[in-house]
Structure 1
Amino acid sequence: MLPINSTVGLGQRALLHTRVPPRGTCSRIISLRLHRRSRVPSSVYGDKLSQCQYLSKSTRGIATTTTPSADVISDHEFLLFRDLLTRASPKPRIEHGSRHVVPSNRSLGAPEIPAAASSIDELVEREHFPNPFQKALKALQQRDTRRLLLYLKQIVSLSDVELRELVATIPRTTFTEFLRSLDPLCVARDVDPTGPALITVGVYQVLNMQSAIDDWGVRKIYSQLLQRMLVLAGALKDSGQALQIEEYICLLRCAGAASDPAGAKLLWDDLRQSQASDWRHSEAFTEFISARFLTRPLYTSHDKARRMVTPRNLHRSRLLLSRHRVYRLDRLRFDTRRRKLNFGLIKDQDYAEDLMRMLRKKLPPSRLIFIIKEDGYRINESLLCALMVAYGRVGSLRYIGSRILNDYFGIRMERLTYNKTPDIKTGKSEIENIPYRIRPTIRLMQAVVETYGSNGEIAVAFQLVDHISKTYHIKIPLSIWQDLLEWTYIMSCPPTSTAWKLAGMHSKIPSSSAVELIWNTMTSAPYHVQPSFDQYNIMIRSLLGRRQFRATLPLMRQAVHLYDAKCREYEEAVLGYVETLRDGVYISEAITTYERARFAKARMHHDIQTWCRQFLSNVRSFDPANTLSTTAVPDFVGEFRPFIMNPARYRTATGYVSLFDPGRENTSVKAFGAWVHMAVPMKHRRTWIYQGVKAKRFGGLSSNSLAGNAPVSKLDLVSMLTSTSRAVRQPRPAKKQARSDGSVSKSSETAAERSYDDDDDYF
């Protein structure tokens, strides 16, 4: 056997030259000896491998994007083998007080062992609790975004020194790929259970979505993602490295998804000061425009009511309103603020100011053109569409038509008259074609609908989409029809229509039949689009607002069939999720499928319940002989019984009728939490004052809500299949009751439902 010092000096290659293994050597080490594989590549042998093909040696032991081979000797096995050799001829120990320290052999060529793993027991403990970056990089290999988010939470919880050391030891390309895998667009596609759904204040309260939505109506997953990504970026800069252009793009998207335009501006300023600013990267500039002006629907939580242009924001920027009109518009904004809670407000303001108030000035978009001309960015369709939406935020529609649509896309709108109802039957095109520099695509359609729809120009948006579709033979996707229907419905309903009336701009308000006109065009030739549940929702709400009950019932029946299909999909998702848990396998796809089916089912049930409530509240017949309240309404209650609130209440000619079903749960909405206090700026004569608003939070107690995030192990399969709520019901301690003989007994009948509501979400 070789001497001990020679064995340690040769590192693991001593295994290849040892003829007889020491007594007690495990069988795996003997088999690895026969394979004659070295542990790490060495520059002595001239094998220069890629950083993604071996274990990166550092003081923290960070793994790269590939998994080590099964033949590679781990640190645990090497230390075990070295201890076995050391026991044959023990080394002298140096006394340090009451502690024994073994001299280091790194100078003799031994592999570098982390200081935190100086013994076998510590290394075994490290293998049981491996570094979060090792897990994250393994999840990166598997393209598991959900696991990446879980490990990202563990990574940023490390101390600053540890995190800086970890970031410094990771290969630069691996770190970039790690950030790109956590792009908000990837998170929205793979992890976000809500998807592109609109979550209003009513949905937020009735479905108990406090664990997924923050106080400002933004998904918590994106707010937390921005904070943690900034921590990683800060650790990278502290380690002496600079962010690359791809990493800045990802950070800009994170700021946009968190609805933080101010943060996007700070990131852009940092980009221009860094070395990466020398590159004229059009994609980075496009992402800055998108995050700064919230051009993507994800950046405003898919809420069109937050990003629409209001006449109050146009005052003193595009037009001048009288003092009386401004006062009435401010009073309307004050009255509607109570019902919206903090949704759509700026987070870092002490007073209640809408997020879109930051974007109402025309000077910031004008600077964009100056930057493009000065820095020489390459103009493409993505950049132009982002510019269109940015200019649409301040109402610069004429500039969009003359400088963008006319100069680049070959669409001349000089003969197009604004603010008129679209006429589909005539087929006369008032838009002229000229040679284009960039061929229009679906992306331009989306930008057109977003730009003109948010400004109340529904007719112009419809005509432009129809013109692009017929001229360039592009099929209008279902998402475009959804946007047209939603913008038309928003502009035709209070309080938006009330605001346009108070401003004297009646041409911005679509007619009451505009939603039905777009619906008929969408479902008839030549489009023949099959509506989804979202389109049914808008159409039914529009008909109920116009009290067209006979036209509403067939559409409601079709929508209920779609809900039944979603219920079957939810049952399959629950069974698949429970099966994976029973097998002891963690599959992110099964969890995401279950969470999305759970949210979709609860949301659809809430929408149908809202239709039924509007139907019963709008039915008013003061004629006792009218069969509407005596026959039609009871038949409606019997047909849509599972979706009507218990008790059901409606009005007749002689009074109110209340029907209670003891076989169903009693749906109720109760107040919870603290009051929401806001200071709304109001103009009193010639001075600004802050007027206080106080609103109460509410929550629905129902099995069809999303209350609670209790583990599945605490729920049985039947309750998961029949309910979307994951709240654990636990009885309160029994109250003491005094008997007639003076003794005290415990009452076992009094119990209450307490929901296990985990405020901290999964990530």
Structure 2
Amino acid sequence: FYDDLPSTTITEILKLLDPDYLVSIYQDAYYDMSDSKAFNMGRVPLQKVLEGYVASLRNIVANMSRAGKRLRLADYRCLLRAIRVCALGRESEGLWADMKKAAIVPDTACYNEYLAATCWDGLHSSTTRHSFRLTPYTMLARSRQKRGSKFVNYRVGKYGKTIKAVMTRLVQEMRKNGTPANEETFAHVMTALSREGDMGGVKDVLASIFLLDVDAIMSDSSIAKPPLVPTSSPFYPTETLLFTIAHIFGSNNDIPAALRLVDHISQLYSLPVPLATWRELLYWTFVLTVPHYGRLAAEWFENIGSLPGTSFNQLFKTMINSPYDLTPTMEIIKWLMSNSRRIGEWDLMRVYIGRAKKIYSASRDEHLAAYKDYLNAERHHMLGRASRERVHHARAVFESKDVIRARNLRTMRGFVHMILGKPTLAHIPTDNDLQWDRRDVPDIVWENRKFVPHLIRYRTIGGVVELELRNPEEIEE
């Protein structure tokens, strides 16, 4: 098959396998879902889906090689981008070696894809994606010769290639080849530096490339006319820089710096702060509001950069109010519920459940619309009015919406159980406590009766309540 194909056709085949078209849909649906939860829902974990996709690309490349076909620069660019989207950094190493062996000089896009795949390796693995925070413990775990499964995505220290060493080699190579860098390149450079806690290096890049004096900004030093990167410059700040700042300072336990710098850059360049950046700021704020106890927590400085629990809810209010007016995702609502339960803000939990219910209803409507679109695509294909690719895409969208709906349904059920699982009071009940037990909890259960079993049992101040709400057939499925 490959023997008779011209090189341009092979390039077009690889473009048709674009990850945005084939796997990004599933990433949105599975992102915050653990492997165990995926199995319980009868789904394949996201990491397995992505590995299967990359394995298919490898088979195509192997068949092309056996047919004597050589990959061109555009082909390598497509493959590197696919690996970057799948966050499988170790896959990119072999492809990069093949590229060098074929004497093909990478362009800026290739370097950026390789750097991104290296910096974000393991992002979609439920084992490693929550391990980007830097503490003395995680640094030690990554520096060991034999690392645990949670820390295999990148290395620091003396054993093997560290992430900073890989980044340094690539930047030097770009200079040697005369390959120009851009904003994205240095965003990845800063991310690589931050992975090893080199925040001094991050500040140097911000000062030399983006003309941002972090220390002056943090000290509120008044600069009459701060320097601006020219709009014609390849380093002109965009949303990419905002997200990078939020991630690297947040993962290095410095949320105040992340917030201050994002706000400063946003105002300086009239950049709206996108939801992805807000999500990153909220995530690291949530992480740093979780207290750690015991001797080991103190020994490994697990509470470094810790924040009061109320700071997370305050940041959320900033996000949803003017001038930002952004709509939260179900993932953000989960953090809010967990944080509010921890600090005893039970009244807020009722508000957040109301928001979550709207998100669930919207996902159910989108699921129904996607199902109808899939049926229409099938019918039009049978009549010769739609291609098989159109049907495949409609089915992929429907399946992803089905996962999102099912995931949101499980989340809603979990929220109600959070309310019913309020811990026993250690003090004499107040009027507010009594009102919560006798009025608020029954109201919340009734408002969300679709998401609870037909028979529920929970503890109150005066004893145990058991309710039979309806027949099992009436439960939301």
Which of 246, 249, 262 is matched with 2:74 structurally? 246
State whether structure 2 residue 119 is matched by structure 1 residue 293.
yes
The one-letter code matched in structure 1 to 2:88 is D
**Distance apart, 1:179 and its partner CA:** 0.9
Q: 222-231 or 288-297: which moved more?
A: 288-297
Partners of 1:512 and 1:265 in 2: CA distance: 41
Whole-angstrom distance in 1 between the partners of 2:442 and 2:315: 32
Hey, what does 2:385 align to over in structure 1?
none
CA contact (8 A) 2:207 2:214 kept: yes
Aligned residue for 2:457, secondary structure, equals: strand
CA-to-aligned-CA distance 1:192-222 (integer Å, 9 cap, x gap): 374473213463244232xx21xxx51x332
**Aligned match of 2:450:** 642
Name the SS for the 2:263 alignment partner: helix
Per-residue deviation, 1:407: 0.6
User: 1:216-249 deviations in whole A, cap 9, x for unaligned?
Assistant: x51x332112112112212222222321122222
Q: In structure 2, what is the Cα distance between the partners aligned to 1:317 and 1:541?
A: 29
Match of 1:313 in 2: 138
C-alpha contact (below 8 Å) 2:253/2:305 kept by paired residues: yes
Q: Which residue of 2 is the match for residue 180 of structure 1?
A: 15
Contact 1:199 1:303 in 2 (8 A): no
Matched residue type, 1:503: W
The offset of 1:581, in angstroms, is 4.2
Given residue 395 of structure 1, which amino acid in structure 2 is its aligned partner? G
| SS at 2:23 equivalent | helix
The corresponding residue for 1:236 is 64
Written as runs of structure 1 = structure 2, the 5 A alignment for 1:191-340 is 192=26, 194-195=28-29, 197-201=31-35, 203-209=37-43, 212-213=44-45, 218=47, 220-276=48-104, 279-294=105-120, 304-315=129-140
Deviations along 1:561-612, one digit per CA (max 9) or x if unpaired, are 2322332332333334345445664523432332232122112112211211
**SS of residue paired to 1:289:** helix
SS at match of 1:358: coil
Inter-partner Cα distance in structure 2 for 1:168 and 1:534: 48
Where does structure 1 lack aligned partners over 5 or more consecutive residues? 1-165, 319-329, 331-348, 419-427, 667-702, 705-722, 724-763
Amino acid at match of 2:212: I
How has the CA–CA distance of structure 1 residues 567 and 629 changed in structure 2, closer, same or farther, with 3 Å as cutoff?
Answer: same
Whether 1:171 and 2:27 are equivalent positions in the alignment is: no
**Could you say if the C-alpha distance between residues 351 and 478 of structure 1 is closer, same or farther in structure 2, counting changes exceeding 3 Å?**
closer
Asked if residue 391 in structure 1 is aligned to residue 193 in structure 2, the reply is yes
Q: Secondary structure in 1 aligned to 2:458?
A: strand
Aligned length: 455
How much does 1:301 deviate?
7.3
CA distance in 2, matches of 1:352, 1:537: 26
Residue 638 of structure 1 and its aligned partner are, at CA, apart by: 1.7
Which residue of the partner structure matches residue 409 of structure 2?
A: 605
* 1:408 matched to 2:204: no
Following the alignment from structure 2 to structure 1, what is the Cα–Cα distance between the partners of residues 329 and 137?
A: 35
Alignment of 1:647-686 (within 5 A): 647-653=455-461, 655-661=463-469, 663-664=471-472
SS at match of 2:472: coil
| CA shift in 2, pair 1:644/1:456, >3 Å | farther
After superposition, the Cα gap between the structure-2 partners of 1:447 and 1:541, relative to the gap in structure 1 and judged at 3 Å, is same
Deviates more, 1:521-530 or 1:657-666: 657-666
**CA offsets per residue over residues 376-432 of structure 1, 9 Å max, x none?**
321111211121212222211110111x111111111133559xxxxxxxxx56789
Match of 1:380 among 182, 193, 205: 182
* Overall identity of the aligned pairs, in %: 21
- Pick aligned residue for 1:466 from 263, 283, 286: 263
Give the Cα–Cα distance (whole angstroms) in 2 for the partners of residues 565 and 304 of structure 1.
Answer: 27
SS of residue matched to 2:74 = helix
Relative to its length, the structure with more strand (as a share) is: 1
Deviations 1:321-373 (A, max 9, x none): xxxxxxxxx9xxxxxxxxxxxxxxxxxx9974533353674433333333333
Q: Which residue does 1:518 correspond to in 2?
A: 315
1:314 aligned partner, one-letter code: M
- Indicate if the aligned counterparts of 2:246 and 2:258 stay in contact, CA closer than 8 A: yes
Report 1:421-570 matches (<5 A). 428=220, 433-436=226-229, 438-493=235-290, 501-504=298-301, 506-570=303-367
Task: After TM superposition, give the deviation of residue 300 of structure 1 in Å.
Answer: 5.2
Q: For the structure 1 residues 580 and 442, does the alpha-carbon distance in structure 2 shift closer, same or farther, using more than 3 Å as the test?
A: closer
Q: Which whole-Å CA distance do the structure 2 matches of 1:612 and 1:451 have between them? A: 35
CA contact (8 A) 1:193 1:599 kept: no
Quote the Cα distance in structure 1 between the aligned partners of 2:178 and 2:217. Answer: 33
Note closer, same or farther for the CA distance 1:251–1:581 as it changes in structure 2 (3 Å cut).
closer
Deviations 1:699-752 (A, max 9, x none): xxxx97xxxxxxxxxxxxxxxxxx4xxxxxxxxxxxxxxxxxxxxxxxxxxxxx
**Gap change, CA 1:505 and 1:303, over 3 Å in 2:** closer
Counterparts of 1:203 and 1:528 in 2: how far apart (Å)? 32
Q: In the superposition, relative to structure 1, how do residues 646 and 372 fare at CA in structure 2: closer, same or farther (>3 Å)?
A: farther
SS in 2 for 1:560: helix
1:468 shift after superposition = 0.7
* Structure 2 spans left out of the alignment, 5+ residues: 383-387
Structure 1 pair 396/300, CA: closer, same or farther in 2 (3 Å)?
A: farther
Compared CA separation, residues 310 and 207, structure 1 to 2 (3 A): farther
Is residue 608–residue 643 contact of structure 1 (8 Å, CA) maintained in 2? Answer: yes
Q: Residues of 1 paired with 2:449 and 2:256: CA distance?
A: 39
Counterpart Cα distance in 2 of 1:518 and 1:498: 31
- Kept in 1, the 8 Å contact 2:88–2:121? The answer is no
SS at match of 1:538: helix
Residues of 2 paired with 1:482 and 1:204: CA distance?
Answer: 23
Higher helix share: 2
In the alignment, is the contact (CA less than 8 A) between 1:619 and 1:629 conserved in 2? Answer: no
Residues 193 and 532 of structure 1, relative CA distance in 2, 3 Å threshold: closer
Question: Does the aligned pair in 2 maintain the 1:629–1:652 contact within 8 Å?
Answer: yes
Residue range with higher mean Cα deviation, 624-633 or 232-241: 624-633
Instruction: Give the 3 Å change call, closer, same or farther, for CA 486–629 of structure 1 in structure 2.
Output: same
275 and 289 in structure 1: CA distance in 2 versus 1, 3 angstrom threshold? same
Question: 1: distance between equivalents of 2:314 and 2:155?
Answer: 35
Letter in 2 for 1:268: W
In 1, distance between residues paired with 2:150 and 2:324? 42
Deviation at 1:265, TM superposition (A): 1.3
Moved more, 351-360 or 256-265: 351-360
Q: 1:303 to 1:280 in 2, by over 3 A?
A: closer
Counterparts of 1:384 and 1:282, CA distance in 2 = 12
| Higher radius of gyration, 1 or 2 | 1
- The alignment's C-alpha RMSD in Å is 3.4
Counterpart residue identity of residue 365, structure 1: M
